[in-house]
A = this chain, B = another copy of it.
Amino acid sequence: MNEQHRTIVVTKNTGEKDVFDAEKLKTALRRSGATEAEVDLVEQEVLDNLYNGITTKKIYRLAYNLLRTKSKRTAGRYRLKSAVMNLGPSGYPFEKFLGRLFKNRGYNVTVNEIIKGKCVTHETDVVANNGTEQIMVECKFHSSIAQKSDVKVPLYIQSRFLDIKAVWEQQPELKNVRFVGMVATNTRFTEDAKDFARCVGLKVISWDYPAGNSLREWIDESGFYPITALQSLRKKDKELLLENNLVLCRELEPHRQKLRELNFSESTIKKILNEAAHLIS
């Protein structure tokens, strides 16, 4: 049976074809905290339902639906990527989310600030400072997983960074601070976008790049799950919370009163907080 599945062709989100790889599925499941028994169960379910041309999205749904009956927490983590995608359609919630991740790493953070450069003023997404380095982070949020940030993105961000850095370098209070430019995306960069960034010293972080320090790993390490990971929230309500600066699951419990002010019923609040608690535990 396994022999047969080696030749199953799957359709990726980008439209590209690939050969089904059970190991990739199992890695993703383990990464989400599934037990080996759960991993085996989901793998079997998926194997039983494979057919040539199946989309990876369909495989993902199969796995997710089964996982959900076993552990809400594991399922929540497994669907983290979708949760980050659902921070859209505008880029603002993603910027706020990135800001939270930097704060968690010990940085003082400002989000969405207008900064004077040497030549022109710029709307920056995140500026993070930890005393030794000050990072200008430009966020590129894409609503479609297939959309990549191409080389034009690091090209224009490098110019923006140099323009801002020229001013920072004149500020006495930043005398011993190192300045860093960075681009963060929720999807991917093209190869030449990464090449250019590496070459000029601009940092890039995407969903799974760089290995060991990718956005996925930042999120895992922080345990910061965006509220979009919650099944018990309707799309409209997610938007309402994001607008009100409630970005992380862990921010809900301390803001129970805020939820009341936003007209959530006591039973809904209980349900939401219950799911959030499972996810962040």
**Cβ–Cβ < 8 Å partners of A196 in chain B:** 119-120, 159, 163
Residues of chain A in range 140-198 having any CB-CB distance to chain B below 8 Å: 151-152, 154-160, 163, 192, 195-196, 198
Please indicate which of the listed interface residues A119, A160, A195, A199 has the most CB atoms of chain B within 10 Å of its own CB. Answer: A119
> In the assembly, what is the distance between CA of A253 and CA of B9, in Å?
57
Q: Does A121 contact B (CB under 8 A)?
A: yes
> In the assembly, what is the distance between CA of A158 and CA of B159, in Å?
7
Q: Among B119, B151, B159, B160, point to the contact of A120 (Cβ < 8 A).
A: B151
Contacts A119-B195, A119-B199, A192-B120 given: A159-B163 contact, CB under 8 Å?
Answer: no
A116 to chain B, nearest CB (A): 12
**B120 near A199: Cβ-Cβ < 8 Å:** yes
**Cβ–Cβ < 8 Å partners of A159 in chain B:** 154-156, 158-159, 196, 200
A8 to chain B, nearest CB (A): 36
**B163 near A152: Cβ-Cβ < 8 Å:** no
Q: Mark A109-122, 1 if CB is under 8 A from B, else 0.
A: 00000000011110
**A120 near B195: Cβ-Cβ < 8 Å:** yes
Count of chain copies: 2
**Cβ–Cβ < 8 Å partners of A192 in chain B:** 120-121
A74 to chain B, nearest CB (A): 41
A120 to chain B, nearest CB (A): 5
> In the assembly, what is the distance between CA of A200 and CA of B162, in Å?
11
**B200 near A119: Cβ-Cβ < 8 Å:** yes
**Cβ–Cβ < 8 Å partners of A118 in chain B:** 199
A213 to chain B, nearest CB (A): 21
**Cβ–Cβ < 8 Å partners of A198 in chain B:** 119
**Cβ–Cβ < 8 Å partners of A152 in chain B:** 152, 156
A103 to chain B, nearest CB (A): 28
**Cβ–Cβ < 8 Å partners of A157 in chain B:** 155
| Closest 3 pairs between A and B when the two form their complex, measured CB to CB | A119-B199, A156-B156, A155-B156
